[in-house]
Structure 1
Amino acid sequence: MMTDASHMPQRFAHCGSISALTLGLPAATAIPEEKSRLPKAMFVGHAQLSAKLRQRLTNDVAGITMLALMRPANMRLAAGVRVPEILVIGLRLSPKATTVPTEVIELIAAQRRSGIVFAVVRDVPHEGSVREECTLAVRRALPGRAGHVPVHEVFADEWRPAGEVTLDTDGIDVASASIDDLWASLCAQVILGSADGADLDARIVRRAQIGQLEATVDKLARDHQRAKDADQRNEIFAKLHKARQQLEALRAQ
C-alpha cells in the first residue's frame, strides 16, 4: 500500500544531532530537511578569498545547513529596525577540525543583513569513545563612534555536549518586543551567558575592559614579585593597587 506523503511526519533540518527543536526553538521556525543544505559555493561568489579562508572553507567545514529561520510572523514579534530576520545555520566540522571557523563565519554573516546564530558541531574523543559537541557563535558589530566604519567580531560560547546546547526565546515579551530584541537576547546568550539583551553593547564593552584589567593585574603581580629594587617594587605596587580598584569597580557595576 502506498503512503500518502501529506500524512508523513515532517523531517526537519539537522546538523549532526542539532536541530531547531533540540535547540528549543518553535517548530514553526524549523527548516524542512529537503530545503536545508547550503552549498559552499553560494557564499564564495566573486569574492577574493585568502588562501587561509579558502583552506578553512574547503577542508575544515564538512557541511553547511540552514536549521531555522525566525521572522516577526512566526515568532509573533514586531518587525525590527536593525535585523529583518534571524537565521540559525549549522556548521559541521570535518574530522580533523576542532576550532570555531571564525573566518568562515565572518564570510557568511557579512553577506546578509539578517542576524545569524551559528551552531558549530564537532566530534571529539571522550573517555575512550567519541562525543558530539556544539558551540554557538554570532558575528556582531563592536560598539563604536557614530560615523565610523563598524568593526565586527565573531563571538563563540564554550563547547558543550550537543544535547546540552539550547537557545532561550521564552523570555521575550511578544506584546512589546521586536525581532531586534530577540537578536539582542540571542547575542547576549552567546556572548555573556545571559538571555537579558538590555544595554548589550555597554555590557560587552565592560566585559572586555574587565578582561584587559585582569590581564594587567596578573602581569603587575608577577612583575612585583620579580622586582628587587625597593623603589621599583613600590612603583609597581601602586599601579597594581590602582588596577585592582578599577577592576573591583567594574565588577560591581
Structure 2
Amino acid sequence: MALTATDIGLPSTCSVPAQRGRLTKEAIRNALHPTGKAAKQLAEAIASVQIIATVSPDSVAIPASVTTKQINVLEVGIKEGAAPEEFLRSFSAHLGEQSKHVSKILYVLHRDDGWMLAAYRNANVHAGIATGVMLFGPLSWDTPYLHLRGEHLDDVWGSLCAQTALDDDDPHHIDERIAKQMHIRMLEGSLRKLQKAHNRTTQIATRNRLWEQMAAIRKELSALQGVQQ
C-alpha cells in the first residue's frame, strides 16, 4: 500500500510525489554500500522504500533548529519477519553523516499484518543513552496518524520519537524518558530470567537468593514506574 503525507496526518505541503520519492534497492545499495546483516536485510527483508513526506521550514510553518533542519518520512515495505533493524540503523547513519546529522528519518514500516513506526535516536550520554538506539512502536492494523508538535524542528523530531516509542507526543526530556524506558525493559528481562531460574531450582538456599534478587528488581521497577509497593 502506497501512503501519502495526508494518510498519516501530515499537511499536504509535506508530500513527496510518488515517482520522485521511490528509492530502488540498487540506488540504496550504491549509496550505502551495506555489509553483513544490513546487506542481507536489504536483499531479503525489504520489499520497497518510498519517501512519502519531507517536514522542513519550506513545507510547514515550523522553523529549523541547530540540530534538526529536515525530517524525512519513509514508508518501508517488509516482506516478512521482524523489523530490519540493522538496515534501518545503517540507512539513518548514512543520512546523518551526509547531512552532518541535521536530517532525520521517521520510518513507517508496513507488512501484511500491520504498521509500525521506527526512528533512530542519536546517543545522548548525559541523558543515559550511551549509543544510538533504534526505536520501534507497537505493531498495529491502523495506519499511523502523526502530530507535528513543537516550536522548532528539534521539538517536532522529539515529539515524533515520543509518538513512536512512548505513546505520547510530548517532546520534552525525550532522551531521559527513552533511557528510563530502556532501563525498565532491561529490568523486566532480568526479572523474567530470574523467575525461570527460581522455578527450576529446588535448592532452598538458591531459591532464597533468587527471590531476594527478584524482590530488589521489583522494588526498583516500582520506583521507576511510580507505583507504590
Q: Aligning the two structures, in what range does the TM-score lie when normalised by the shorter sequence?
A: 0.7 to 0.9
Q: Which residue of 2 aligns with 1:167?
A: 146
Gap runs ≥5 in structure 1? 1-15, 125-132
Counterpart CA distance in 1 for 2:33 and 2:175 is 31
State whether residues 143 and 205 of structure 1, in contact with CA within 8 Å, keep that contact through their aligned partners in structure 2. no
Give the corresponding residue for 1:109. 92
In structure 2, distance between residues paired with 1:237 and 1:103: 37
| Amino-acid identity (%) | 25
Distance in 2 between the 1:59 and 1:209 partners?
Answer: 32
Partner of 1:34: 19
Stretches of structure 2 lacking an aligned partner (at least 5 in a row): 96-100
How far is 1:42 from its partner? 3.1
After TM superposition, the score normalised by the length of structure 2 is 0.84
More helix by share: 2
Maintained 8 Å contact 1:43/1:107: no
Q: Which moved more, 1:112-121 or 1:21-30?
A: 112-121
Secondary structure at 1:135's aligned position in 2? strand
Tell me which residue corresponds to 1:137: 118
Task: Check whether the contact 1:188–1:196 (CA below 8 A) recurs between aligned residues.
Answer: yes
Q: Which residue of 1 aligns with 2:109?
A: 120
- Mean alpha-carbon deviation: is it higher for 184-193 or for 222-231? 222-231
Q: 1:219 aligns with which of 190, 193, 205?
A: 193
Could you say if the C-alpha distance between residues 86 and 224 of structure 1 is closer, same or farther in structure 2, counting changes exceeding 3 Å?
A: same
Q: Deviations over 1:9-32 (max 9, x none)?
A: xxxxxxx14221110000110112
CA distances 1:28-55 after superposition (whole Å, capped 9, x unpaired): 1011223221223333336543253333
Equivalent pair of 2:18/2:50 in contact (CA under 8 Å): no
Change (3 A) 1:87 1:251: same
Does the aligned pair in 1 maintain the 2:32–2:90 contact within 8 Å? no
Deviations 1:174-231 (A, max 9, x none): xxx1100000000011111111121111111111111122222333334344443443
> Which TM-score applies when normalising by structure 1?
0.77
| C-alpha contact 1:92 1:120 (8 A) present in aligned 2 | yes
Kept in 2: contact 1:120–1:136 (CA 8 A): yes
Task: Give, in whole Å, the separation in 2 of the partners of 1:214 and 1:38.
Answer: 39
Cross-structure match for 1:4: none
Aligned pairs, how many? Answer: 219
User: Does 2:176 correspond to 1:193?
Assistant: no
Distance 2:200 2:92 in 1: 46
CA RMSD of aligned residues (A): 2.3
Indicate the structure (1 or 2) with the bigger Cα radius of gyration. Answer: 1
Give me the whole-angstrom Cα distance separating, in 1, the residues matched to 2:3 and 2:83. Answer: 16
1:101-143 alpha-carbon deviations (Å, 9 max, x no partner): 222212221122311111112224xxxxxxxx22111111233
Post-superposition CA distance 1:131-164 (Å, at most 9, x none)? xx22111111233259xxx722222212222x43
In structure 1, give the amino acid aligned to 2:223: A
Alignment match, 1:65: 50
Cα distance in structure 1, aligned partners of 2:195 and 2:45: 40
